Amino acid sequence: MSRITRWLAGAASVGLLLGFVAPAAGHADDAVAAATNHAGPCVGDTGVTVVLDYQALGGGTDIRCSTETPETGVDAVRAAGFSYDGVTRWGDGFACRLNGRPAVDEVVPLTGNPTYIEKCVNTPPSNGYWSYWHSTDQGQEWEYSNMGALGYEPSAGEWEGWSFSLNATASSNPEPRTSLALAEYDNAASTALAADWIASQWDADADQFAAGLADGISALAAAEAHPDVVSEMVDGLRTTAADYITQADSLAKVLIALDMTGQDTHHFLSCERDLTAELDTFIADDAKSLNNWWGPHLVTIALNRLGKPVPQNVWDLLAKRQVANGGFGSPDDTGLALSALVGTRDNALNPEAMREAATVAIQKTVAWANNPANQKVKNGNHYWATFSAANSTGILGGALAEAGEDISSPQAFMRAQQKLTGVGAWQSVMDRTAPNYMATTQGIFAVAGRSYGTSTLEVPRTTPTCSIAPAFSTQPSSITVTAGETATFTVVATGDPTPGITWEKDVNSLWTPIQGVTGATLTLGNVDNVSNGLKVRAVAANGAGFAVSDIAILTVAPVASPSPSPSPSVSISPSASPSPSVTVSPSASPSPSVKPSQPATVYNTPGYHDVNGRRWFTTCEPYSVTQRCRTLIEATTVREVGGTFVSSKGWAFNNLTYLPSPASAWKGNKLAETGSFVGTDGRQWRTECGTPATGRNGCRSYIAAKVVENVAKPGQPVRYGWVTKEIFNNIVQFS
């Protein structure tokens, strides 16, 4: 059964029941015309809401409310304040013109008759007529009417819809666009409609966005809509941004969009490129692009969003743009500056003086925006315009909302302008109907009540996980303790993966690892006066690099020395691997210290030496009846940090040499007797004396220790691992 046949059947039955006689075409009687009505939808379950959607005729939608409950669908149209014209032949039984559309001279391009003009004499053609709909849930779902409007009786709270159907079929008749109808009266509906249009443009042709991707992301983030589309835009931005972000302002704009959507603002493009660090470099270099017209505005917004303090040079560039009347030039510039000022005021990391200055600047900016002399007015609502009213009002209106100002008047202006395009977008030229992408991505801020400073929409984070080089967030502090007490140094290091921490001490201006100590805390127990002035530092390392902390100094306050022991004992205290050392306390001798006399070597001569293509460094100090020399060699060392083997070039322990002294002074000391023994640390030692390796008047000691070596087989790539082996530790020479 055709739509017209169905309507005639319904109308005929109702006509019989009501004694229906088709009147001549005309308007409602005075009683119906006098019904109370208003623009916009009815409130709650009272009255009847009527939606007219002009669809292909152009002009968007209209929505009005009849606060009374009319008797028929035709009465509802008129009671809501619209005109209803039937046809000459059937009267009001067929809707021909609603609210004057199609106009008497308007061409309706029907398939097969592209120059058709509706005369309203006979029934309108089936491919160019007003379709009739009902909704019981305020336009969320529409049902095509199976009755004619003259025979249908609306209920209180019901919505009546009329949608012009051009060249459609029974299955493709367009239902009324509720969101478009509501957008003129509701900011949330207006925002959603604009977001839908932006998303539709992306779906239709993503390539058209090009450099405008960041704007599209920011707009949909402000609307909190279409996270799926935003996620695709973010992926697209990763492809195009590398060539786009060559200056401070363009980089800041991208960082704002990334922060809005919860992306990695450091390594969004790659693990090798740190965008936040690049912005810091632009700022530190006082780059020319920092002073581009929107440079300080966007950079300030980006820094505040990223939780970073605004440097003084950036603040100065922004602040000096404000003129005496409170504005920053055009409405567009003023709006962007206002977002920057609000973020600066609210960022606790900024200096208090800067935040106070931002507060004063905000007050002046708001006063400028609210001054009628800086506004324009249309239909009782004010707006701002530089080149495009939609762009200017969107940017400044959204910023005013972020500052806590009432923007209901410019929002009403924006909704009225949005209606003119009929698709949910805004136009670049006021009162025109052609939608414009940039006007919409910036205009949406006004109706959303958010702008660049506060818009947020979480979407999946697709940035690859990158290692972050270590950095010290807490440096070690210099401390003072009394001799015999414990000294503790502490650091905090950040990085990804979590860095391993080792400690070093200054030995004659050479930084030497403190063996056996790892972690964030260095504890030195029972310190003595010899440690006074000790300098230490921490080294944090992971697969991404390493960092060296500040230097901390230990000051040891002396205490009264106890009476000396008449006969100090001999002890062996090897240090922890991989650079063990032995502390030897030979028995005291009543005779004066012996001054050794021997050929000079790298092991017994203090200072730097270049021997056999290697660099050596030796220090010597008095030790009981002799002297002890410690020799370091410059070499590439490998150590395990946080599960990773890290190689570095520096000074490494080679051996200890006890210079010639009487053999009798070493009696009973295992470092001067051939044999093996277990040290106090539980490790295996071996000493050999009088061998070709030691010579007739000397001994050498070796210790079993775990060391890092290349464990790869010949011909294979280098692969480090731990091995246990016997290593040379010290020499004892006899006079």
Indicate whether 7 pLDDT > 70: no
Indicate whether 543 pLDDT > 60: yes
Residue 348's pLDDT is 94
pLDDT tens track for 313-353 = 999 999 999 999 999 999 999 999 999 999 999 999 999 99
User: For residue 489, what is the DSSP state?
Assistant: E
Q: Decide the pairing of beta strands 479-482 and 376-378.
A: unpaired
**Separation between Cα atoms, residue 204 and residue 198, nearest integer Å:** 10
Neighbours of 154 (CB within 10 A): 23
Which carries the bigger pLDDT value, residue 241 or residue 149?
Answer: 149
Identify the weakest region by mean pLDDT among 24-33, 142-151, 196-205, 610-619. Answer: 24-33
Residue 597's pLDDT is 47
CB 617 within 8 A of CB 648: no
Supply the DSSP string of 154-188, one letter for each residue.
--TT-EEEEEEEES--TTTPPPP-HHHHHHTT-HH
Identify the weakest region by mean pLDDT among 266-280, 629-643, 652-666, 676-690. Answer: 629-643
**Separation between Cα atoms, residue 660 and residue 145, nearest integer Å:** 115
Residues 5-23: what's their mean pLDDT? 29
Q: How far is the CA of 505 from the CAs of 12, 166, 251, 532, 707, in angstroms?
A: 104, 86, 42, 13, 21
- Domains 187-448 and 467-559 belong to one CATH topology: no
Query: Phi/psi class of residue 220: alpha, beta or left (left: φ > 0; alpha: ψ in -120 to 50)?
Result: alpha
- Coil/strand/helix, residue 728: strand
Neighbours of 138 (CB within 10 A): 16
Which carries the bigger pLDDT value, residue 39 or residue 57?
Answer: 57
Tokens of 579: 């650079």
pLDDT > 90 in the chain, percent = 60
List the one residue out of 468, 606, 474, 442 whose CA is nearest residue 541.
468
Which carries the bigger pLDDT value, residue 725 or residue 561?
Answer: 725
Identify the weakest region by mean pLDDT among 132-141, 226-235, 476-485, 602-611. Answer: 602-611
Residue 275's pLDDT is 93
Indicate whether 4 pLDDT > 70: no
**Separation between Cα atoms, residue 257 and residue 253, nearest integer Å:** 7
**Separation between Cα atoms, residue 665 and residue 662, nearest integer Å:** 6
pLDDT tens track for 147-156 = 999 999 999 9
Q: Decide the pairing of beta strands 97-98 and 84-85.
A: antiparallel
Indicate whether 30 pLDDT > 50: no
pLDDT tens track for 289-311 = 787 879 999 999 999 999 999 99
**180-200 as b/e, with b when 16 or more CB fall inside 10 Å?**
bbbbbebbebbbbbbbbbbbe
pLDDT tens track for 104-144 = 999 999 999 999 999 999 999 999 999 999 999 989 899 99
**Separation between Cα atoms, residue 635 and residue 613, nearest integer Å:** 11
Residue 26's pLDDT is 38
The amino acid sitting at 268 is F
List the one residue out of 93, 83, 98 whose CA is nearest residue 53.
98
Residues 719-730: what's their mean pLDDT? 90
Identify the weakest region by mean pLDDT among 61-65, 139-143, 650-654. Answer: 650-654
Backbone angles phi, psi at 675, to 5 degrees: 150, 175
Domain ranges of the chain: 3-183, 187-448, 467-559, 575-735
Residue 336's pLDDT is 97
List the one residue out of 403, 382, 413, 387 whose CA is nearest residue 337.
403
Indicate whether 167 pLDDT > 60: yes
Residue 576's pLDDT is 34
Residue 715's pLDDT is 82
Residue 312's pLDDT is 95
Residue 598's pLDDT is 57
List the one residue out of 229, 273, 282, 226 whose CA is nearest residue 253.
282
Helix (H), strand (E) at residue 253 = helix 248-260
To which residue do tokens 């324009």 refer? 376
**Separation between Cα atoms, residue 123 and residue 87, nearest integer Å:** 7
Q: Rounded to the nearest 10 degrees, how much is the dihedral formed by the CA atoms of 519, 522, 524, 525?
A: -60
Q: Rounded to the nearest 10 degrees, how much is the dihedral formed by the CA atoms of 360, 362, 368, 372?
A: -120
Residues 626-654: what's their mean pLDDT? 82
CA 47 vs. chain centroid, Å, equals 48
Supply the DSSP string of 466-479, one letter for each residue.
--EEEEEEE----E
To which residue do tokens 């700022």 refer? 283
Residue 185's pLDDT is 85
Fold of 467-559: Immunoglobulin-like (2.60.40)
- For 254, counting Cβ atoms within 10 Å of its Cβ (0-12 exposed, 13-18 middle, 19+ buried), the class is buried
Indicate whether 563 pLDDT > 70: no
Residue 682's pLDDT is 82
**Separation between Cα atoms, residue 707 and residue 144, nearest integer Å:** 84
Residue 595's pLDDT is 42
Tokens of 206: 């993503």
Residue 464's pLDDT is 67
**229-238 as b/e, with b when 16 or more CB fall inside 10 Å?**
bbbbbbebbb
pLDDT > 70 in the chain, percent = 89
CA Rg value for the chain: 43
Question: What does pLDDT average to over the chain?
Answer: 86
The amino acid sitting at 460 is P
Confidence of residue 463 (pLDDT cuts 50, 70, 90): low
pLDDT tens track for 705-718 = 888 888 888 888 88
Which carries the bigger pLDDT value, residue 170 or residue 217?
Answer: 217
Residue 644's pLDDT is 81
Which carries the bigger pLDDT value, residue 229 or residue 720?
Answer: 229
Residue 567's pLDDT is 30
Structure pTM? 0.57
Which carries the bigger pLDDT value, residue 466 or residue 279?
Answer: 279
List the one residue out of 234, 229, 226 whose CA is nearest residue 256.
234
Fold of 187-448: Glycosyltransferase (1.50.10)
Indicate whether 9 pLDDT > 70: no
Confidence of residue 211 (pLDDT cuts 50, 70, 90): low
Residue 230's pLDDT is 96
Confidence of residue 16 (pLDDT cuts 50, 70, 90): very low
CB 365 within 8 A of CB 318: no
pLDDT tens track for 175-203 = 999 888 887 888 998 999 999 999 999 99
Confidence of residue 218 (pLDDT cuts 50, 70, 90): very high
Residues 246-261: what's their mean pLDDT? 93
**Separation between Cα atoms, residue 386 and residue 272, nearest integer Å:** 41
**Separation between Cα atoms, residue 300 and residue 734, nearest integer Å:** 73
Tokens of 13: 């039955």
Residues 394-411: what's their mean pLDDT? 97
Q: Within 13 Å, how many C-alpha atoms sit on residue 446's CB side?
A: 31
Q: How far is the CA of 315 from the CAs of 173, 253, 309, 527, in angstroms?
A: 57, 17, 10, 50
Which carries the bigger pLDDT value, residue 225 or residue 606?
Answer: 225
Q: How far is the CA of 322 from the CAs of 297, 325, 330, 352, 453, in angstroms?
A: 11, 8, 11, 20, 19
Backbone angles phi, psi at 495, to 5 degrees: 155, 165
Backbone angles phi, psi at 370, to 5 degrees: -85, -5
pLDDT tens track for 582-607 = 333 333 333 333 344 457 788 888 88
